[in-house]
Amino acid sequence: MKKYSCVLFDLDHTLWDFESNSKETLHDLFHEYDLQERGITSFPYFFETFTRINTHFWDLYDRGLIGQEVIREQRFHKVLSEAGLDDFRFSLKFSSHFLTELPRKQNLLPHAREVLDYLHQRYDLTIVTNGFDETQSKKMESAGIKDYFQTVVTSQRAGSKKPSREIFDFALTEVGHTASNAIMIGDNLQTDMAGARVAGIDTVYYNPAGSPHQEDVTHEIKLLLDLKKLL
Ligand SMILES: [Mg+2]
């Protein structure tokens, strides 16, 4: 096994349980805004609609086709209108409330804390994320994992986003390591795996569902706990 000194982590869907946290947040807001009274009868359908549209918007963002403001302003208009409530002003209010509440949620993916406890004693740990600056920082504070990391590199701060190699170079310069001493762990084949590979960084693909793929990754794991064996 190659000797690494620096471990780069993606945040959403890799350490921070975006699925559970967004579900809890939307469940709270569903009741707070009485969406049932406004014509959205089924929460599971509402959440399914959100997940599909949210994934689509982030994919467009990762590919450089839209900016963050489009996610902020249009994501919930699309979700709510597809679910049966077409009101742009209401969707803006809902979106802003969602972005305040979501990062307060604390669910992490299984074994995330145990693995961070183990790794931070042995490596310099860094987050590399395409998320919003203040949102990502708040998420890590809420979940109590901020202190494990030497630095948090967001696309906003780096001025470039995954999968471009610039954000990885920016992160390595900031922590004072080289690509050959680093390894990137993430759940996204394009942004995390292909991006790090182009930057000359070894990769660990976190693939809990065991989905088939063609990407060239250095290692692949189903459980975060497997990192203790790998590293
Ligand atoms: Mg991710």
CA of 211 to the centre of ligand 1 (A): 15
Q: Are 179 and 154 in contact (CB under 8 A)?
A: no
Could you tell me the two tokens for 115? Answer: 């693995």
CA of 38 to the centre of ligand 1 (A): 33
Interval 88-142: pLDDT, tens: 999 999 999 999 999 999 999 999 999 999 999 999 999 999 988 889 999 999 9
Give pLDDT, residue 132: 80
Give pLDDT, residue 1: 62
Q: Tell me the mean pLDDT in the region 209-214.
A: 96
Residue 3 pLDDT grade (very low, low, confident, very high; cuts 50, 70, 90)? confident
Which helix or strand (DSSP H or E) is residue 169 part of? helix 165-175
In sequence order, which residues have a C-beta less than 8 Å from that of residue 49 and are 6 or more positions away?
Answer: 79, 82, 83
CA 209 from centre of chain: 16
Interval 62-87: pLDDT, tens: 888 999 899 999 999 999 999 999 99
CA of 97 to the centre of ligand 1 (A): 22
Residue 49 pLDDT grade (very low, low, confident, very high; cuts 50, 70, 90)? very high
Interhelix angle 88-101/68-83, rounded to 10 degrees, is 120
CA of 50 to the centre of ligand 1 (A): 17
Sheet with 182-186, edge to edge strand ranges:
151-154, 124-129, 6-9, 182-186, 202-206, 219-221
CA of 230 to the centre of ligand 1 (A): 20
Q: Tell me the mean pLDDT in the region 28-52.
A: 96
Interval 144-177: pLDDT, tens: 999 999 999 999 899 999 999 999 999 999 999 9
CA of 140 to the centre of ligand 1 (A): 14
Neighbour tally for 64: CB within 10 Å: 11
How many residues does the structure list for the chain?
Answer: 231
Residue 2 pLDDT grade (very low, low, confident, very high; cuts 50, 70, 90)? low
The C-alpha atoms of residue 132 and residue 119 are separated, in whole angstroms, by 25
Which domains, and CATH codes, for the chain?
6-17+108-230 (3.40.50.1000), 18-104 (1.10.150.240)
Q: Which percentage of the chain shows pLDDT scores above 70?
A: 99
Interval 97-111: pLDDT, tens: 999 999 999 999 999
CA of 52 to the centre of ligand 1 (A): 15
CA of 39 to the centre of ligand 1 (A): 32
CA of 127 to the centre of ligand 1 (A): 11
